[in-house]
Amino acid sequence: MNERRRCTVPGCRREALSFTQVCADHLAFSESSFEFLYNQLLTAKNWEGLNLRRLTLSNCKLESMEFEGCNFEGCHFTDVSLRGSRFENCFLDYSFWQSCNLQESRFMFCSFAGSRFRDIDWQNSDLLHINFNGCKFTNVTFHSSDLYFSRLINARMDRVNLDDCNLKRVMFQNSQLKDVTLKYSNDEEAEWEWNLI
């Protein structure tokens, strides 16, 4: 799975998606190609080094799975349940998330820089050492989650529930927070301002 292959369309220099011969731009996202990729993903519980860059996933379940070193950059997730799944060292920058269930998930050392999240349920999750820099969150709950050492620098949050969360060493510098609740969280252990040297 770690083998990197070029898209077979002449002149295209992008990497081919896993399970296919072409990149996302050259894959016709018909129902059948989506079903094909989705069914391939369901053939195993653990995946390593997948390239799913710019894939669109909607109305599906990828629950209790494990992804390591996988590329999900620019992916669109709509009405997707990843409940109980684990992601380690994965690339999710500039991804789009709408109406997804991410409860009881575990993300470690992943990057979501520049991503957008709307109507997301991320309760009871571990989000450790995550890069959320420049992300925009609208109506998102992290209730009872551990965000230890995650970075939310330059993030925008509107209607975000951070109640009962571990915010130790979480970096919020330059972020804009509107209707954000922090009840029972250790927000005093988070970093809100740049430390002037």
| Interface residues toward Zn ion, by CB under 5 A | 7, 9, 12, 14, 23, 26
Q: Is 193 exposed, middle or buried (0-12, 13-18, 19+ CB in 10 A)?
A: exposed
CB 23 within 8 A of CB 12: yes
Task: Using the minimum distance from each CB to Zn ion, give the nearer residue, 14 or 76.
Answer: 14
Task: Give me the least distance between CB of 76 and Zn ion, in Å please.
Answer: 18
The whole-angstrom separation of Cα 117 and Cα 132 is 11
Which is closer to Zn ion, CB of 17 or CB of 190? 17
Closest contact distance (angstroms) between CB of 9 and Zn ion is 4
The residue among 33 and 154 lying less far from Zn ion, judged by its C-beta, is 33
Minimum Å distance from CB 3 to Zn ion? 17
Give the residue with the Cβ less far from Zn ion, 26 or 129.
26
Rounded to whole angstroms, the Cα distance separating 120 from 40 reads 26
Nearest approach, Cβ of residue 18 and Zn ion (Å): 14
Geometric angle at alpha carbon 171, from 63 and 144, rounded to 5° = 40
